[in-house]
Homo-oligomer: A and B are copies of this chain.
Amino acid sequence: MTWRDDAGPAASGRTESVVPRSVPRRHPTIAEVARVAGVHASTVSRALRGESGIAADTVGRVRRVADELGYRPDPAAVGLRTRRSGLIGVLVPRLTDVVLATIYEGLDAAAAEAGFQTFVANTGDDPETRRRRLATLRDRRVDGVVLGDARLTDDDLLAGLAADGLPYVLVSRRSRGHLSVTTDDLRGGRLVAEHLLALGHERVGVVAGRTYSSTGVERTRGFRERYAEAGLPVPEELVLPSRYDVSGGREVADALLAVRPRPTALFAVNDFTAIGVMGAVRSAGLRIGDDVAVVGYNDVPLAAELPIPLTTIASPMTEMGRVGMARLLDRAAGRTVRSVRLRPRLMARESSGPGRPAGSPGAD
């Protein structure tokens, strides 16, 4: 079944960069399969695609010939005829962000299982770049689009997408009136609040993320709501927007720690931001977990392994990708689908309190 007539792996790469290339490695076409199998090309097509109306032995013979020849349909030809590309476009703020990269893994895995392939592009959260990248995806005639960089309100890119018929779904961030798969960020924020309340923190600050992303906004809102319910509303000056990277957390935390009376706990809506917060706390000569509790969000793999393990909210990122892709494909198939909010879980670790054992406290 394996062919090794040619060069063979023993050809020891001596002439590394001498001759450019040569053997153009032709792919067999459906016509060749038809000829060898002694049937018409249309029959090969139907047999391979498992349509009814073809004799069982014919199907068998065609299939055998096809993979003896190593036949693989040319996606360009298929796409031209069927008007379907088998491609799903994915737009993310940045793939170097582990959270998005993980979601993308889930998206891609689910797409692959359904016979689709994905196409990522970074947008850097920049409107103009988004527009250009989306145009590129359209040019490629993608069958659907996944957006990981939706804006909470007034996202006209989404409006445009909804206007023409390209199926799409949002992941990670929500936006009013659009199909999305996210974690329940409101609930996640509340979980953090309850955790800190239980530990007795009465004066707390929030490194709140970007004002245009639902993740930051809703995590912050859930958190503040819960504190307000406990009769300890979080004052405005202790809630500051931030970037989603380490240095963003560092800068904002420096500011929050300068407020008097100083907060005894800081909630950062993103783990990397939280790492920046930890840096700020240490630089201020304070002890993480003792003097100032720090809580993050997402439970990236790094969080549990830090010198001082980070208390954070586990959000099922890979699953979010898988579910998001499933929803998109459902929608593209014309089925009616609804937005999903996945359940977040608290991972209590040392950064929020004295010597608690690593791992989740239980719950579901």
Show the binding face of A for B, using Cβ within 8 Å. Answer: 6-9, 11-14, 16-18, 20-25, 27, 72, 74-80, 85, 94-96, 98, 101-102, 104-105, 108, 112, 117, 119-122, 136, 138-141, 156, 159-160, 162-167, 176-179, 245-247, 250, 272, 275-276, 278-279, 282, 301-302, 305-307, 331, 334-339
Check if B96 sits within 8 Å of A85, measured CB to CB. Answer: no
Copy tally for this chain in the complex stands at 2
Residues of B within 8 A of A95 (CB): 95, 101, 104-105
10 residue pairs from A and B, CB less than 8 Å apart: A9-B156, A9-B160, A16-B163, A17-B336, A23-B165, A75-B79, A80-B80, A95-B101, A108-B122, A272-B302
Known interface pairs A165-B24, A336-B20; A108-B121 also in contact (CB < 8 Å)? yes
Within the assembled complex, what's the spacing in Å between the Cα atoms of A74 and B79? 10
The 5 closest A-B CB pairs, nearest first, are A13-B177, A76-B79, A25-B164, A9-B159, A246-B305
Chain B residues contacting A245 (CB-CB under 8 Å) are 301
Which residues of B have CB within 8 Å of A159? 9, 11
Residues on B with beta carbons closer than 8 Å to the beta carbon of A20: 331, 334-336
Contacts of A104 in B (CB 8 A): 95
**Does A72 contact B302, Cβ atoms closer than 8 Å?**
no
Whether the Cβ atoms of B139 and A75 lie closer than 8 Å is yes
Q: When the two chains form their complex, are residues A163 and B7 in contact, meaning their CB atoms are under 8 A apart?
A: yes
